[in-house]
Amino acid sequence: MDDIKRDHRSKKIDMTQGSILFNVLLFAIPIIIGNVLQQTYTTVDTLVVSRNCTETALAAVGTSAQPVEVLLCIFLGIGAGVSILIAQSSGAGDLDKVISISKTATSFVYLCGIPVTILGWFATPFILSLMRVPADVSGEAVLYTRIVLLGTIGNIGYNMNAGILRGLGDSIASLCFLVVSAVTNIALDIVFVAFFKLGVMGASLATMIALLLSWLVSMIYVKVKFPELEFTFLPRYYNKDDMKNILMIGLPIGLNNSLYSLGHMAMQVLVNSQGTEFMAGLAVGGRITGLSNITIASMAASASTFAGQNYGARNYSRLREGYRKLPAFGGLITLMLGLVFVTLRYQVLRLFTDDEVVLMYAARFIVVLMLSQWSFAVFNCLCNILNGIGLVKYTTIVNLLMLWAVRIPAAYLISRFWDGRFVMVAFPISFVFGMVSMILYCNFSKSFRSIIMREDAV
């Protein structure tokens, strides 16, 4: 058993020892590359459709992406729950628990994926009608959504396997799976849409096949590289307590992510009311601020794995050190990146547009967000440290309050009583609210302090 554990630990980044910042950066880099890759192939997907299909087809793809994204966010959160539990068990050196959670996660893929696919197929027309999709777009939107949903089980399976690997400290493998998925999606887009002229059906088939393939590759990888996990392609084991723990941690994170997506749609309504040039300016500016968001999300995911492994190993002094260093480090990196983009904003933005009015709005958006996102980075790191040790309830509440009780009302008040073209000021207001709320909780919560101030296990 000891040999197996040593072999198991040798294949991952062990965040219970060594330089905290170096390990977190090493873990975060593949996640950053993977997120950039996802944005890249999504852009290529849209480009291929726009160049080879009608405007209604492009609108159908764009509209259909929203309900699929809400669904994806839920399973991303549940995958995060798997990652946290695996990290805690891995840090504790409890291989039997790691095996049990991994097998239960595999069963979850089938128990959830098949019913969701069937339900989604029949519910798609109703969901799109609630979104008020125009009649000339509705038919293709239903077709696209239904076909993509056939790949739901692949989507869930990939996220479960990626969660297992991240919990073990292996973030490079997930990047490799994304490369496979991205290359497949782009290649099939070109074949189905550009060559065979299958339109929306071709684009959705490319996405569905890519999702299923990434799941298949991830299963093979886990089975070959981590034989000690006794991983199986089909469900053969189910632990009720493990499933309960996965859902208790992962479901709040997933639902929070989905409600965040819905909140972004609500914010978009306020943005749209300011006219086409303003919409275009924020869309262009969002391409730049999105790069900063990728860094923040990747650092936060690393912080979660760090906290989970050290909490499981009962390395409380190291957990305290990371709690102080990681939010400050994440905030500093984000601020430095923000200053670079603020300085070079016009040079970068002119790569996307030459319209002076659009440039003005985009530049304003970048200045407001990039000079305040450091506070969002601090907030995210603190949230994920708490998530990593299982304290997900408060982080979920603060996330929802930050969006629905602060950002959206602030944006409405700005557009109603000041100037809607400064609606982006609502973002830093919500960032600061979230950061202050988390700092106050970490300094005064008995639940958190009772964990962070414990003595290390001997």
pLDDT, tens only, 364-422: 999 999 999 999 999 999 999 999 998 988 998 998 899 889 999 999 999 888 887 88
Task: For residue 451, give both structure tokens.
Answer: 């964990």
Q: Is 392 exposed, middle or buried (0-12, 13-18, 19+ CB in 10 A)?
A: buried
Is the pLDDT at 41 greater than 70? The verdict is no
Structure confidence at residue 274 (pLDDT):
76
- The span from the CA of 207 to the CA of 209, in Å, is 6
Structure confidence at residue 205 (pLDDT):
94
Structure confidence at residue 14 (pLDDT):
87
Rounded to an integer, the average pLDDT of 140-162 is 91
C-beta of residue 100 within 8 angstroms of C-beta of residue 242:
yes
Q: Which residue has the higher pLDDT, 90 or 274?
A: 90
Given pLDDT bands bounded at 50, 70 and 90, which one contains residue 6? very low
Annotate 90-115 with DSSP letters as a single string: HHTT-HHHHHHHHHHHHHHHHHHHHH
Element spanning 88, H or E: helix 55-91
What ranges do the domains of the chain cover? 19-250, 273-458
Integer-rounded Cα radius of gyration of the chain: 22
Half-sphere exposure for 125 (CA within 13 Å, toward CB)? 3
Rounded to an integer, the average pLDDT of 6-30 is 79
Structure confidence at residue 458 (pLDDT):
52
Given pLDDT bands bounded at 50, 70 and 90, which one contains residue 43? low
Is the pLDDT at 10 greater than 60? The verdict is no
Q: Which residue has the higher pLDDT, 456 or 272?
A: 456
How confident is the model over 89-148, as pLDDT tens digits? 999 989 999 999 999 999 999 998 999 899 989 999 988 887 667 788 888 889 999 999
pTM: 0.81
Q: In percent, how much of the chain has pLDDT > 90? A: 46
Average pLDDT value for the chain: 86
Is the pLDDT at 39 greater than 80? The verdict is no
Structure confidence at residue 4 (pLDDT):
38
Q: Is 409 exposed, middle or buried (0-12, 13-18, 19+ CB in 10 A)?
A: middle
Q: Which amino acid is at 281?
A: G
Task: For residue 72, give both structure tokens.
Answer: 């994806």
Q: Which residue has the higher pLDDT, 60 or 202?
A: 202
- The span from the CA of 215 to the CA of 83, in Å, is 16
Annotate 349-396 with DSSP letters as a single string: HTTT---HHHHHHHHHHHHHHHTTHHHHHHHHHHHHHHHHTT-HHHHH
Q: Which residue has the higher pLDDT, 77 or 291?
A: 77
The CB density around residue 350, as the number of other CB atoms within 10 Å, is 11
- The span from the CA of 395 to the CA of 384, in Å, is 8
Q: Is 450 exposed, middle or buried (0-12, 13-18, 19+ CB in 10 A)?
A: exposed
- For 11-20, give one letter per residue: b (16+ CB within 10 A) or e: ebbebbeeeb
Q: Which residue has the higher pLDDT, 60 or 410?
A: 410
Given pLDDT bands bounded at 50, 70 and 90, which one contains residue 11? low
Structure confidence at residue 282 (pLDDT):
80
Given pLDDT bands bounded at 50, 70 and 90, which one contains residue 2? very low
Given pLDDT bands bounded at 50, 70 and 90, which one contains residue 263? confident
